[in-house]
């Protein structure tokens, strides 16, 4: 949608225009949901679609999984390595957990940026596994790898391309299990046996479905965004299988010029369009682009900070949104990012309004894709559904979870009270353990 600006722009007129552009009505959400269902069905049938509908080779867990497992959870910012015990009666005990940043804040290493490579990245991960694995104990290994992978089996996954602006060389097109196995072998970790590679959405779904009924959809609303679901009769096997939709790549949500410009300036233009419209990695960037526009309209001061990419982080966006009537956090954030002091209440409040519009748009778009997924798995919407969600936006961004629920209720009023979301905190690591145990049991 293109909205042209009147010659004499004041803050309120400007905000009205942005609201018309960014606010998605219930009708708009229903149309996104309908497009989403069509994209799911095309992708599943192997026709061209922005939804890749990647098979996971995993079904739903039984709760009887029994194993001693090491789980790796690699999502983009940190890795977590967990030692987990599954007791065979639905019990999960996390015995130890180790977290490490992949980009050292002190600047000693960067496994994700320009100049990093596969050997460094997987060597670093294997070193963390070595810290957790007890000598003489055998483990099955489950590996959550939160990027689009083409799987040919539960333990075979090739990275299609990096998302979330990662640039590590030598991984795209490669089998990530083999890269990890090589790194483990070169460290003499023969007691650790790779069993499963899975997406973080799949891990989240597995962990939630392990302990409660009605969970057939798993999602991440964090640095990146994506959703998976349990396809009752998968075309490949004729049996239930979890499908990683890679819904961050969905391309039918209504983009504005701010979204198009952000996409063009990103590592991989044309990909991950939905993700770039509101995940934690990009939300600050969209806000910055609107602030640049406001400065060009004379509504905010021009500043050098405005041209610094990624200057505004997801948590800073959250601090602005959470701000009270005094707008102190907004003033402090804008001062540190853009050097603006004494903006005055009206302009501070206008920035907070822009932030609110963009965060709410992100939540509503996510909700529309959840509704599309529900309409695919339960067209008459007769059942009860719990959508398991993890990620910093869902957990920490003010209003986000509530806005998702409100938009689901507006989009599918007939299902009100029967569709909800739940936080599946750190589910992807536990899900990796469940996947490894399932795969190990089916091999014995
Ligand atoms: C990746 C997905 C992942 C999501 C959440 C996206 O960038 O493509 O595979 O599930 O981020 O981590």
Express each pLDDT in 113-133 by its tens digit. 999 999 999 999 999 999 999
How far apart CA 371 and CA 37 sit, in angstroms, is 9
How far apart CA 221 and CA 201 sit, in angstroms, is 10
The finding on whether 164 has its CB within 6 A of some atom of ligand 1 is yes
Q: Taking 80 as the threshold, does the pLDDT of residue 186 lie above it?
A: yes
Q: For ligand 1, atom 9, which residue shows the shortest CA distance?
A: 147
Q: Taking 90 as the threshold, does the pLDDT of residue 21 lie above it?
A: yes
Q: Taking 70 as the threshold, does the pLDDT of residue 241 lie above it?
A: yes
Q: Taking 80 as the threshold, does the pLDDT of residue 143 lie above it?
A: yes
* pTM for this entry: 0.95
Q: Which of 56, 164, 217 to mutate to test the pocket of ligand 1 (most atoms within 8 A of CB)?
A: 164
Q: Taking 60 as the threshold, does the pLDDT of residue 108 lie above it?
A: yes
- Determine the 3-state secondary structure of 271 from DSSP: coil
Q: Average pLDDT of 97-106?
A: 93
Q: Taking 80 as the threshold, does the pLDDT of residue 6 lie above it?
A: no
Q: Kindly compute the dihedral angle of the four CA atoms of residues 294, 296, 297, 299, in this order, to the nearest 10 degrees.
A: 50
What pLDDT score was predicted for residue 7? 54
Q: Average pLDDT of 418-431?
A: 95
**Atom of ligand 1 lying closest to residue 220 CA:** 5
List the domains of the chain with CATH numbers.
59-201+427-438 (3.30.420.40)
Q: Average pLDDT of 228-245?
A: 95
The finding on whether 146 has its CB within 6 A of some atom of ligand 1 is yes
Centre of ligand 1 from the C-alpha of residue 342, in Å: 39
The finding on whether 390 has its CB within 6 A of some atom of ligand 1 is no
**Atom of ligand 1 lying closest to residue 200 CA:** 10
How far apart CA 385 and CA 408 sit, in angstroms, is 12
The DSSP annotation for 136-169 comes to T--EEEEEEE-S-EEEEETTEEEE----TT---B
Q: Kindly compute the dihedral angle of the four CA atoms of residues 382, 388, 389, 394, in this order, to the nearest 10 degrees.
A: 70
Q: Taking 60 as the threshold, does the pLDDT of residue 180 lie above it?
A: yes
What pLDDT score was predicted for residue 442? 81
Q: For ligand 1, atom 8, which residue shows the shortest CA distance?
A: 147
Q: Average pLDDT of 143-171?
A: 96
Q: Which of 50, 73, 163 to mutate to test the pocket of ligand 1 (most atoms within 8 A of CB)?
A: 163
How far apart CA 350 and CA 166 sit, in angstroms, is 33
Centre of ligand 1 from the C-alpha of residue 246, in Å: 7
Mean model confidence pLDDT for the chain:
95
Q: Which of 254, 245, 69 is nearest to 143 (CA)?
A: 69
What pLDDT score was predicted for residue 62? 85
Contacts of residues 235-239 at CB distance under 8 Å and 24 or more positions apart, as own/partner, are 235/44, 235/45, 236/55, 239/59
Beta strand pairing status for 241-244 and 225-231?
Answer: antiparallel
The finding on whether 219 has its CB within 6 A of some atom of ligand 1 is no
What pLDDT score was predicted for residue 75? 86
Q: Average pLDDT of 407-413?
A: 98
Residue 149 has a CB neighbour count (10 Å cut-off) of 24
Q: Which of 329, 366, 373 is nearest to 349 (CA)?
A: 329
Q: For ligand 1, atom 2, which residue shows the shortest CA distance?
A: 147
- Determine the 3-state secondary structure of 231 from DSSP: strand
Q: Taking 60 as the threshold, does the pLDDT of residue 59 lie above it?
A: yes
**Residue 160 burial class via C-beta count within 10 angstroms: exposed 0-12, middle 13-18, buried 19 and up:** middle
pLDDT tens digits along 382-403: 999 999 999 999 999 999 999 9
**Atom of ligand 1 lying closest to residue 224 CA:** 11
Give the percent of the chain with pLDDT over 90: 90
């Amino acid at each position: 949608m293109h909205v042209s600006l009147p010659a004499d722009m004041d803050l309120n007129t400007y905000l009205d225009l942005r609201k018309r552009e960014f606010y998605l009505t219930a009708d708009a959400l229903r149309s996104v949901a309908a497009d989403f269902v069509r994209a799911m069905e095309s992708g599943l049938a192997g026709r061209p679609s922005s939804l890749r509908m990647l098979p996971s080779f995993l079904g739903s867990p039984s709760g009887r999984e029994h194993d001693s497992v090491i789980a790796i959870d690699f999502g983009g910012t940190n890795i977590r390595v967990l030692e987990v015990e599954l007791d065979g009666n639905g019990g999960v005990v996390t015995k130890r957990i180790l977290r490490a940043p992949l980009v050292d804040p002190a600047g000693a290493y960067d496994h994700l940026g320009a100049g990093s490579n596969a050997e460094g990245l997987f060597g670093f991960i294997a070193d963390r596994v070595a810290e957790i694995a007890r000598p003489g104990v055998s483990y099955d290994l489950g590996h959550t790898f939160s990027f689009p992978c083409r799987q040919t089996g539960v333990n075979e996954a090739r990275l299609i391309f990096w998302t979330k602006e990662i640039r590590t060389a030598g991984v795209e097109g490669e089998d990530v299990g083999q890269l990890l196995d090589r790194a483990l072998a070169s460290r003499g970790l023969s007691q650790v046996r790779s069993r499963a590679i899975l997406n973080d959405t799949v891990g989240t779904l597995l962990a939630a479905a392990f302990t409660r009924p009605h969970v057939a959809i798993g999602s991440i609303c964090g640095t990146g965004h994506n959703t998976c679901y349990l396809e009752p009769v998968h075309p490949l096997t004729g049996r239930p299988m979890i499908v990683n939709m890679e819904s961050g790549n969905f391309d039918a949500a209504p983009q504005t010029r701010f979204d198009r410009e952000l996409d063009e300036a990103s590592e991989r233009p044309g990909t991950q369009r939905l993700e770039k419209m509101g995940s934690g990695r990009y939300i600050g960037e969209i806000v910055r682009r609107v602030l640049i526009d406001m400065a060009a309209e004379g509504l905010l001061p021009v500043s050098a900070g405005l041209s610094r990419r990624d200057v505004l982080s997801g948590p800073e966006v959250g601090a602005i949104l959470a701000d009270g009537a005094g707008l102190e956090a907004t003033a402090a954030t804008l001062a540190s990012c853009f050097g603006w002091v004494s903006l005055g209440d009206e302009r501070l409040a206008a920035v907070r309004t822009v932030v609110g519009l963009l965060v709410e748009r992100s939540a509503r778009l996510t909700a529309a894709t959840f509704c599309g997924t529900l309409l695919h798995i339960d067209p008459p919407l007769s059942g009860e559904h719990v959508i398991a969600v993890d990620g910093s936006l869902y957990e920490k961004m003010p209003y986000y979870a509530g806005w998702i629920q409100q938009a689901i209720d507006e989009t599918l009023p007939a299902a009100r009270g029967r569709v909800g979301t739940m936080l599946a905190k750190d589910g992807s690591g536990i899900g990796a353990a469940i996947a490894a145990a399932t795969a190990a049991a089916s091999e014995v």
